[in-house]
Amino acid sequence: MAAEVVLLDCYVSLFGMRVRIALAEKGIQYEKKEQDLSNKSSILLQMNPIHKKIPINQENPEDPFSS
């Protein structure tokens, strides 16, 4: 079964680390999608079109506007 939470993240991001710690403390399983911030993916730009930044927490991957 696919994870219900998808985290668009970058391993060097301290903002991302905050989210990873919170998810771990709550015991929430998630799928991590590593992002290249020098070549932003279409999913990143679709999910955060204004700021174009990570982390992005997508709670229902079937619905791209659920985060």
Ligand X SMILES: N[C@@H](CCC(=O)N[C@@H](CS)C(=O)NCC(=O)O)C(=O)O
Provide DSSP, the chain. ---S-EEEE-TT-HHHHHHHHHHHHTT---EEEE--TTS--HHHHHHSTTT--S-EEES-TTSTT--
Toward ligand X, which CB reaches closer, 15 or 22?
15
Q: Rule CB under 6 A: is residue 8 a binding residue for ligand X? A: no
Residue type, 67: S
Q: Rule CB under 6 A: is residue 54 a binding residue for ligand X? A: yes
Q: Rule CB under 6 A: is residue 11 a binding residue for ligand X? A: no
Q: Which of 41, 53, 61, 67 binds ligand X (CB under 6 A)?
A: 53
**Which residues are at the interface with ligand X (CB under 6 A)?**
10, 13, 15, 37, 52-55
